[in-house]
Structure 1
Amino acid sequence: MDFRKTFDRIPDQFDKWRPRYCDELFKDIIEYANIGPGKSVLEIGPGTGQATEPFLKTGCDYLAIELGEHFVDFTKKKFGTYENFHIVNDDFETHDFGERKFDLVFSAATIQWIPEEIGFPKVFNLLKNGGALAMFMTYTDEKTSNGSLYDEIQKVYDEHFHVETKYTCSLNYDNVVNYGFVDLNYRDWKKTRIYNADEYVEYLSGTQVEHITLQEPYKSNFNNGVREAVIHAGNRIILDDTIALYLTRKP
């Protein structure tokens, strides 16, 4: 199964529940890459645009490449008032950018879908000399703050979570230095989210690729089991987020 367009099925739900990034992250990227008017920026797979607007507001020449047709329509409506917003509906892996070069290429939890031997060299070639690559994502710890609730939810997974295809995409971001990039540095920020039972089920159903593809009767049984577990634990679950950022540049 090709999971790459899974979220495109549910753009409104995805946009509502996808965790947001922090202002500090955008500030660091914009300063690192010196982005502003006259600079060119490429976003790989913006989805519904959780990371898009801070870059548009700099006045840069912004281009997004997005595989999902519904996501393209969604972001056109969301950012259509920005004259510097441009988006193309295509596959980054095969799209021909011609002679165009960028001062910044960035990925908000998307580049891990691309094999590193394809993604890293292509980004390197798309960047101007001295141009920057920013890769960021949110890692969520659902265990530390929830005690026995975490164990109860794992029991629901064991009993009801049976998917046809496992999600196996992963990327070692440190490997970027093997493709000519330099000045790799990492930084992160901590945030906490608190959901009730219904919110947590909606979050899982709208942002986790395997949960979206879960078939009946497993889907209903799983959702009901998770909902009951959270309700019995006081109708409250705490998610501890780490917003992680990798910055590097082309010499």
Structure 2
Amino acid sequence: MSVIHGLEWTFNTEAEKYEKMRPGYVPELYEDIFNYIPINKTSNVVEVGIGGGQATLPILKTGCYLTAVEYGSNLAELCRKKFREFPKFSMVTAKFEDFECDDNTCDLIYSASAFHWIPEEVGYKKVFNLLKSGGVFARFANHPYKDKEREEIHEAIQKIYSVYMPDTLSNDEYSENDAEKRADLAGKYGFIDISFKLYHRTRTFTAKEYTSLIGTYSDHIAIEECTRSKFFSEIESAIDNLGGKITIYDTIDLQLARKP
């Protein structure tokens, strides 16, 4: 999914649907983070862009102090309620660029499918400054790809997109080379011990579930409601006419980097 800057606001308008439909992350990813930096009851952690809290619970279960930063007020309120049973959880409604925190105080800063909304130079520099020496930045993101086993579904959906979103191109599957290039960005800002890893999974949806999912994508939310309704109806019909199910092939990339 390409990033269209200026559409950050869109997710907040679909907070409940976003929380329900956006996926979490595989257990192996958290194991790799905790092997890289042990997190415990004394650790100070910041999550950049909590969204619907898809990546939050495994971190909270370590018993750490977790401060989540979220620009969308509806998403922030949803997560305040979602994690209210964790006394060390706190929620700040702000852009990360405006988030106030003392330098050299964080053991771990992480961001799940959100850091790409922050200007690179601003984001990496701020993370570096907030981390303690030896502290870690973990950035990870999910990259969905077409139903690789059923080209007819992909072609049918692409025809519909050519009418309603003609500027939307079908992206290549996220690759190891893509992950390495993105991970290496941290080196420009003083980070060391940089590493990356890819994880793979599939998710299968009914036609209705699939349009609920894409209804949480920023550029789709921005479409005028009447047009979006027709667009999604045609997608649902295409999937139903081709078996009623669609499978998405996800690649998740994890970038780990340490402050000297």
TM-score > 0.5 by shorter chain: yes
Please say if residues 183 and 195 of structure 2, whose CA atoms lie closer than 8 Å, have aligned partners that are also in contact.
no
Q: How far does residue 121 in structure 1 lie from its aligned partner after superposition?
A: 0.6
Equivalent in the alignment of 2:112: 108
Equivalent in the alignment of 1:180: 190
Whether 2:24 is the aligned partner of 1:24: answer: no
Whether 2:212 is the aligned partner of 1:202: answer: yes
State the distance in 1 between where 2:113 and 2:225 align: 28
Please say if residues 192 and 238 of structure 1, whose CA atoms lie closer than 8 Å, have aligned partners that are also in contact.
yes
Q: 1:4 to 1:216 in 2, by over 3 A?
A: closer
Equivalent in the alignment of 1:223: 232
- Cα deviations across residues 197-247 of structure 1 (Å, max 9, x unaligned)? 1111111112x1111111144212211111111011111111111121111
Q: 1:61 to 1:100 in 2, by over 3 A?
A: farther
Please say if residues 183 and 196 of structure 2, whose CA atoms lie closer than 8 Å, have aligned partners that are also in contact.
no
Equivalent in the alignment of 2:46: 42
Whether 2:14 is the aligned partner of 1:10: answer: yes
4+ long deviations beyond 6 Å: none
For this pair of structures, how many residues does the alignment match?
244
Equivalent in the alignment of 1:62: 66
Q: How does 1:101-180 map to 2 (within 5 A)?
A: 101-161=105-165, 172-180=182-190
Q: Amino acid of the residue matched to residue 118 of structure 2?
A: I
| TM superposition score normalised by structure 2 | 0.89
Equivalent in the alignment of 1:94: 98
State the distance in 2 between where 1:58 and 1:48 align: 19
Q: How far does residue 86 in structure 1 lie from its aligned partner after superposition?
A: 0.9
State the distance in 1 between where 2:80 and 2:70 align: 11
The secondary structure found in structure 2 opposite 1:132 is: strand
Whether 2:88 is the aligned partner of 1:84: answer: yes
State the distance in 1 between where 2:8 and 2:124 align: 18
Q: Could you tell me which of 74, 77, 100 is aligned with 2:78?
A: 74
State the distance in 1 between where 2:17 and 2:225 align: 19
Q: Amino acid of the residue matched to residue 120 of structure 1?
A: Y
Q: How far does residue 30 in structure 1 lie from its aligned partner after superposition?
A: 2.0
The secondary structure found in structure 2 opposite 1:98 is: coil
The secondary structure found in structure 1 opposite 2:98 is: coil
The alignment-based identity, stated in percent, is 36
Q: Amino acid of the residue matched to residue 9 of structure 2?
A: K
Equivalent in the alignment of 2:172: none
Equivalent in the alignment of 1:167: none
The secondary structure found in structure 1 opposite 2:39 is: coil
The secondary structure found in structure 2 opposite 1:200 is: helix
Q: 1:99 to 1:174 in 2, by over 3 A?
A: closer
Please say if residues 183 and 256 of structure 2, whose CA atoms lie closer than 8 Å, have aligned partners that are also in contact.
no
Q: How far does residue 147 in structure 1 lie from its aligned partner after superposition?
A: 1.0
- Cα deviations across residues 31-71 of structure 1 (Å, max 9, x unaligned)? 21211111110000101111111111101111111111111
The secondary structure found in structure 1 opposite 2:195 is: strand
Please say if residues 162 and 218 of structure 1, whose CA atoms lie closer than 8 Å, have aligned partners that are also in contact.
no
State the distance in 1 between where 2:227 and 2:165 align: 6
The secondary structure found in structure 1 opposite 2:215 is: helix
Q: Amino acid of the residue matched to residue 28 of structure 1?
A: D
Equivalent in the alignment of 1:235: 244
Structure 1 gaps, min length 5: 164-170
Q: Amino acid of the residue matched to residue 251 of structure 2?
A: T
Q: Could you tell me which of 185, 189, 209 is aligned with 2:199?
A: 189
| TM superposition score normalised by structure 1 | 0.92
